[in-house]
């Protein structure tokens, strides 16, 4: 009897032997006949002792409305089942992702950049094993439990070990009076992460841990059913990250990669990703000046980066707690300072590129606020905070998520997003002369009027009553057609001009023009037969251009007239870059934003050679840009059944992921005020169901890139080889979400589309892990 009593008091579940037992005073939970009235039954009491089915054995019910006990009041009313999957933020480490789920912020924004980190201002180190973890100075943003409490709700959080006890405590909280009961609960299980590290992701140890987790979830759901709350509450189950198999035989060593005198002078965060700083806080890290991004050998499994050159999709630069040098490690490999310095290397690890499939996590929810039996597309951790606020019916604090992007999960969305207001509308760049007063020292001066207009107006030669511009040279009849379209006076040609613009917009701006979110950017729209661009009179370059490539892509030739740039007579000379400025610039040359090589007619080629289409580019970067336009765009147009392409420059000198103001830009073309971009972007839009993009009625799909604009390509080990061997890999490593492009450029895409805004937000926020490269 004593042995039974001692065993029973330690158990969290009923057995047939325990049913009807005399109440055990010291029991953790009870199987006595009075336990239901006391509210302290073990979670399986009704199943084992009264013959009811377990929750998991019940039929799935479409919970169109919550089914709660009479007078049971909650601030939220339930969900239903949604399957995987979820993309963690970088680094795919536990504490950063926990706090991302709670705040909707990237790690660089909420401050927890790793489980271990150093703050140079505090001159203190944070880890889960020291007292700093409890110091609020490390935590930025507003976690969901604070947001709830600030808006009149009560929150109960239960983070640390003792899973059975935590479930039972949560169930007790749910039985509190209305004025005491929390409206929001969080519960943390340390498994299967703990066993994944010890045994690896494919192991008996992990299977045993998962069985234990399944048991705990079963206890929770059976306990809720026992309280008649299983069709009443909102339940979300998420994992923070995945797990990758590791081995002590798969390690790369810092001292083999950096040309520094002594790696022992460096403080190195080792493991599945790395960071490097000087041990001496008063001495800058020598590695910053030692060609840190030069590839040392083909096939190397780690790549060091200056943090401002990391892919923008990581959002891992804008924090003083992130060292200047980060090290990206190939999945399954580990990084150590010197041979043998990393001793915990066998089993499993996480922290790798968050786009890697092994790092992805699960998402599961249940209850009447969510659509029934719905499998959703992948989404990012940063979107969960807004979603939880919507379920609670409260307003979120500022965060990195896009509120409304998860509306497709909800039966009745709580938040209705709207488009952001335009900050700067396009100005005018009228054609007032037909010959330039200043050739800008350019080499092609004979064709000065945009020839797309000339080509287009051939269709309007029959129109009468066209008044000619007085500057028209009678000996050049080709200008007649240009003037009939552009230069009619007193409104006599307005209908033709409008028709031309409308035709170009319908062809090349399928989803409307990008809306300018940058204040006071003096720009105008320039229309051509092959593309539209937005030209900035402040930066003396195009802000963006837009064009559509149909399938199949038909071109006359890939050859472009050499050494040919042309003045654009619509742009005043003092608002235009000059050919001689680029000719005399050091280490920089001109590039064309719209690629002249994509021409279908000679006129389209010459439109592409206008100085209003010129941007500053490093010669090495042009290898990437040219291959992208001459080869990859045609490939993608064929694969996706046509694409709309928007490209342009981006500026992020302070690497905060937001567009720079004029005073934040640091580098200019020599002797000019033409700023040198830190990145170039490309947004490719097609139809998700492979309809032709020009007649797409269904959901859009996108592929976007934010390509670092650097003076060398040393990031790539085989950059000296043929472009086909490395450029596409480079581009996809620097893939981005459309939302990332919007932040970095101050543009807002797709406002001219008739699609619902939540649908557009879902497209814009689709994580890069969900957008796969086609063979």
Of 442 and 657, more confident:
657
**pLDDT at residue 12 tops 50:** yes
Query: Residues spanned by CATH 4.10.410.20 within the chain?
Result: 2-52
What is the rounded distance in angstroms from the CA atom of residue 370 to the CA atom of residue 405? 14
Give, as one character, the DSSP assignment of residue 309: G
Chain length of the chain: 775
What is the rounded distance in angstroms from the CA atom of residue 459 to the CA atom of residue 449? 17
**Token pair listed for 386:** 């807004």
Of 96 and 468, more confident:
96
pLDDT confidence band for 164 (50 / 70 / 90): low
**pLDDT at residue 478 tops 60:** no
pLDDT at residue 48, rounded to an integer: 93
The CATH number for 451-769, chosen from 3.30.365.10, 3.40.570.10, 3.40.30.10, 3.10.20.30, is 3.40.570.10
| DSSP states of 465-517 | -PPPPTT--TT-THHHHHHHHH--STTTTHHHHHHHHHHHHHHH-TT-PPEE-
Tell me the pLDDT tens digit for each residue of 576-587. Answer: 999 999 998 888
Query: Residues spanned by CATH 3.40.720.10 within the chain?
Result: 82-105+141-245+358-409
Tell me the pLDDT tens digit for each residue of 415-432. Answer: 999 999 999 999 999 887
Q: For residues 658 and 740, is the Cβ–Cβ distance under 8 A?
A: no
Q: What is the CATH number of domain 248-353?
A: 3.30.1360.180
Query: Residue 134: exposed, middle, or buried by beta-carbon count in 10 A (0-12, 13-18, 19+)?
Result: exposed
pLDDT at residue 8, rounded to an integer: 62
C-alpha to C-alpha distances, 168 to 13, 29, 145, 165, 216, nearest whole angstrom: 11, 8, 20, 5, 10
What is the rounded distance in angstroms from the CA atom of residue 232 to the CA atom of residue 754? 37
Q: Of 770, 754, 84, 51, which is closest to residue 409 (Cα–Cα)?
A: 84
pLDDT at residue 630, rounded to an integer: 92
pLDDT confidence band for 2 (50 / 70 / 90): very low
**pLDDT at residue 81 tops 70:** no
pLDDT confidence band for 600 (50 / 70 / 90): confident
Beta strands in 254-401 (DSSP E): 266-269, 273-278, 302-306, 325-329, 334-336, 347-349, 363-366, 374-375, 379-380
Provide the β-strand partners of residue 515: 748
Q: Of 321, 310, 294, which is closest to residue 107 (Cα–Cα)?
A: 321
Give the H or E element holding residue 708.
Answer: strand 700-708
Instruction: Say whether the peptide bond before residue 163 is cis (omega within 30 degrees of 0).
Output: no
The residues assigned a catalytic role are 94
Q: Work out the average pLDDT over 399-423.
A: 97
pLDDT at residue 637, rounded to an integer: 95
Rg for the chain, CA atoms, rounded: 31
Would you tell me how many other CB atoms lie within 10 Å of the CB of residue 343?
A: 9
**pLDDT at residue 594 tops 70:** yes
pLDDT at residue 481, rounded to an integer: 34
**pLDDT at residue 126 tops 80:** yes
pLDDT at residue 63, rounded to an integer: 72
What is the rounded distance in angstroms from the CA atom of residue 192 to the CA atom of residue 20? 35
pLDDT at residue 494, rounded to an integer: 33
Q: Work out the average pLDDT over 121-132.
A: 95
Q: For residues 252 and 283, is the Cβ–Cβ distance under 8 A?
A: no
**Token pair listed for 655:** 């690497």
Would you tell me how many other CB atoms lie within 10 Å of the CB of residue 259?
A: 12
Give the H or E element holding residue 707.
Answer: strand 700-708
C-alpha to C-alpha distances, 388 to 9, 10, 11, 76, 407, nearest whole angstrom: 37, 35, 34, 10, 11
What are the b/e assignments for 601-629, b being 16+ CB within 10 Å? Answer: eebbbbbbbbbbbbbbbbeebeebbbbbb
Percentage, residues of the chain above pLDDT 90: 62
Query: Residues spanned by CATH 3.40.570.10 within the chain?
Result: 451-769
Is this model's pTM higher than 0.75 or not? yes
Q: Of 424, 423, 407, which is closest to residue 415 (Cα–Cα)?
A: 407
What is the rounded distance in angstroms from the CA atom of residue 747 to the CA atom of residue 518? 7
Tell me the pLDDT tens digit for each residue of 502-532. Answer: 899 999 999 999 999 999 889 999 999 899 9
Coil, strand or helix at 324: coil
Query: Residues spanned by CATH 3.30.1360.180 within the chain?
Result: 248-353
**Token pair listed for 775:** 């063979």
**pLDDT at residue 559 tops 80:** no
pLDDT at residue 287, rounded to an integer: 62
pLDDT at residue 716, rounded to an integer: 85
Q: For residues 504 and 594, is the Cβ–Cβ distance under 8 A?
A: no
Of 227 and 560, more confident:
227
pLDDT at residue 292, rounded to an integer: 62
Tell me the pLDDT tens digit for each residue of 442-477. Answer: 887 554 444 444 444 444 344 333 333 333 333 333
The tally of CA atoms less than 13 A away on the side-chain side of residue 502 is 6
Would you tell me how many other CB atoms lie within 10 Å of the CB of residue 362?
A: 12
Q: Which residues contact 24 (CB under 8 A, 6 or more apart)?
A: 5, 8, 9, 30, 32
pLDDT at residue 84, rounded to an integer: 46
Q: Work out the average pLDDT over 155-180.
A: 77
Of 413 and 12, more confident:
413
pLDDT at residue 11, rounded to an integer: 78
Tell me the pLDDT tens digit for each residue of 494-509. Answer: 333 677 888 999 999 9
Q: What is the CATH number of domain 82-105+141-245+358-409?
A: 3.40.720.10
**pLDDT at residue 770 tops 90:** yes
Q: Chain-centre distance of CA 773, in angstroms? A: 16
pLDDT at residue 186, rounded to an integer: 87
Percentage, residues of the chain above pLDDT 70: 85
**pLDDT at residue 17 tops 50:** yes
Q: For residues 102 and 145, is the Cβ–Cβ distance under 8 A?
A: yes
Query: What is the average pLDDT value for the chain, to the nearest integer?
Result: 86
pLDDT at residue 453, rounded to an integer: 44
Q: Which residues contact 324 (CB under 8 A, 6 or more apart)?
A: 276, 277, 285, 288, 306, 307
Q: Which residues contact 80 (CB under 8 A, 6 or more apart)?
A: 62, 63, 365, 366, 367, 368, 369, 370, 371, 372, 373, 374
Q: For residues 497 and 525, is the Cβ–Cβ distance under 8 A?
A: no
pLDDT at residue 55, rounded to an integer: 86
Residue owning tokens 């009235």: 37
Q: Which residues contact 303 (CB under 8 A, 6 or more apart)?
A: 293, 295, 327, 328, 715
**pLDDT at residue 52 tops 50:** yes
Tell me the pLDDT tens digit for each residue of 605-649. Answer: 888 999 999 999 999 999 999 999 999 999 999 999 999 999 999
Of 456 and 661, more confident:
661
Coil, strand or helix at 714: coil
C-alpha to C-alpha distances, 55 to 208, 351, 458, 710, 771, nearest whole angstrom: 22, 35, 74, 58, 36
The CATH number for 2-52, chosen from 4.10.410.20, 2.40.50.140, 2.60.120.10, 3.40.50.10860, is 4.10.410.20
What is the rounded distance in angstroms from the CA atom of residue 295 to the CA atom of residue 713? 9
Find the DSSP H helices in 200-295: 204-226
Tell me the pLDDT tens digit for each residue of 249-307. Answer: 999 998 777 666 667 788 999 999 999 988 877 776 656 545 566 677 778 899 989 99
What is the rounded distance in angstroms from the CA atom of residue 462 to the CA atom of residue 758? 47
pLDDT at residue 464, rounded to an integer: 37
């Amino acid at each position: 009897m004593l042995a039974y009593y001692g065993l029973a008091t330690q158990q969290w579940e009923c057995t047939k032997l325990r049913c009807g037992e005399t109440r055990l005073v010291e029991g953790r939970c009870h199987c006595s006949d009075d336990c239901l009235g006391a509210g302290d039954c073990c979670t399986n009491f009704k199943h084992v002792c009264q013959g009811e089915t377990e929750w998991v054995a019940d039929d799935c019910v479409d919970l169109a409305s919550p089914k709660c006990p009479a007078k049971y009041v909650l601030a939220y009313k339930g969900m239903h089942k949604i399957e995987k999957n979820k993309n963690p933020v970088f680094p795919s480490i536990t504490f950063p992702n926990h706090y991302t789920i709670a705040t909707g912020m990237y790690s660089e924004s909420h401050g927890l950049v790793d489980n271990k980190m150093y703050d140079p201002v505090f001159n203190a180190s944070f880890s889960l094993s020291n007292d700093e973890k409890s110091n609020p100075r490390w935590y930025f943003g507003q976690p969901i439990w604070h947001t709830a409490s600030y808006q009149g709700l009560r929150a109960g959080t239960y983070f640390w070990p003792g899973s059975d006890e935590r479930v039972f405590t949560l169930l007790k909280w749910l039985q509190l009076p209305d004025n005491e009961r929390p409206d929001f609960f969080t519960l943390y299980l340390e498994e299967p992460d703990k066993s994944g590290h010890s045994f690896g992701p494919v192991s008996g140890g992990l299977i045993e841990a998962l069985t234990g987790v399944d048991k705990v979830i079963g206890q929770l759901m059976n306990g809720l059913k026992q309280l008649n709350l299983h069709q009443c509450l909102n339940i979300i189950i998420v994992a923070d990250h995945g797990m990758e198999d590791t081995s002590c035989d798969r390690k790369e060593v810092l001292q083999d990669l950096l040309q520094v005198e002594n790696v022992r002078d460096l403080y190195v965060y080792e493991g599945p990703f790395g960071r490097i700083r000087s041990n001496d806080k008063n001495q800058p890290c020598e590695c910053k000046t030692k060609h840190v991004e030069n590839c040392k050998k083909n096939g190397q499994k780690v790549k060091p980066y200056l943090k401002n050159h990391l892919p923008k999709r990581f959002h891992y630069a804008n924090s003083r707690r992130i060292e200047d040098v980060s090290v990206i490690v190939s999945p399954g490999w580990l990084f150590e300072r010197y041979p043998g310095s990393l001793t915990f290397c066998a089993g499993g690890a996480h922290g790798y590129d968050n786009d890697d499939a092994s790092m992805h996590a699960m998402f599961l929810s249940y209850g009447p606020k969510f659509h029934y039996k719905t499998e959703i597309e992948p989404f990012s951790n940063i979107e969960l905070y807004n979603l939880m606020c919507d379920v609670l019916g409260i307003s979120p604090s500022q965060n990195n998520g896009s509120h409304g992007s998860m509306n497709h999960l909800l039966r009745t969305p709580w938040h209705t997003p709207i488009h952001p207001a335009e900050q700067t509308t396009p100005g005018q760049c009228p054609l007032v002369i037909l010959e330039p007063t200043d050739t800008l020292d350019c080499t092609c001066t004979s064709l000065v009027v945009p020839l797309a207009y000339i080509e287009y107006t051939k269709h309007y030669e029959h129109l009468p009553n066209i008044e000619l511009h007085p500057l028209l040279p009678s000996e050049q009849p080709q200008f007649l057609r240009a003037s009939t379209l552009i230069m009619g006076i007193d409104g006599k040609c307005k209908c033709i001009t409008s028709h031309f613009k409308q035709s170009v917009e319908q062809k090349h701006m399928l989803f409307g023009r990008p809306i300018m979110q940058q204040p006071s950017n003096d720009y105008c729209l320039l229309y051509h037969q092959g593309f539209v661009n937005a030209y900035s009179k402040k930066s003396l370059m195009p802000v963006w251009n837009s064009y559509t490539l149909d399938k199949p892509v038909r071109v006359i030739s890939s050859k472009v007239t050499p050494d040919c740039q042309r003045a654009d007579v619509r742009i005043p000379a003092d608002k235009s870059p000059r050919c001689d400025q680029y000719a005399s610039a050091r280490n920089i040359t001109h590039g064309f934003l719209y690629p002249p090589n994509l021409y279908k007619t000679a006129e389209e080629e010459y439109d592409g050679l206008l100085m209003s289409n010129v941007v500053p580019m490093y010669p090495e970067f042009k290898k990437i840009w040219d291959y992208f336009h001459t080869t990859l765009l045609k490939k993608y147009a064929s694969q996706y059944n046509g694409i709309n392409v928007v490209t342009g420059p981006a500026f992020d000198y302070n690497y905060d992921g937001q567009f720079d103001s004029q005073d934040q830009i640091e580098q200019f073309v020599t002797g000019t005020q033409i700023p040198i971009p830190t990145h170039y972007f490309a947004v490719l839009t097609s139809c998700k169901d492979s309809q032709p993009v020009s007649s797409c009625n269904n959901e859009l799909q996108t592929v976007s890139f934010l390509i670092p604009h650097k003076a060398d390509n040393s990031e790539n080990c085989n950059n000296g080889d043929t472009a086909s061997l490395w450029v596409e890999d480079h581009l996809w490593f620097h893939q981005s979400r459309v939302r990332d492009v919007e932040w970095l450029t101050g543009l807002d895409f797709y406002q001219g589309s008739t699609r619902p805004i939540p649908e557009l937000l879902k497209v814009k926020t689709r994580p890069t892990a969900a957008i796969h490269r086609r063979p």
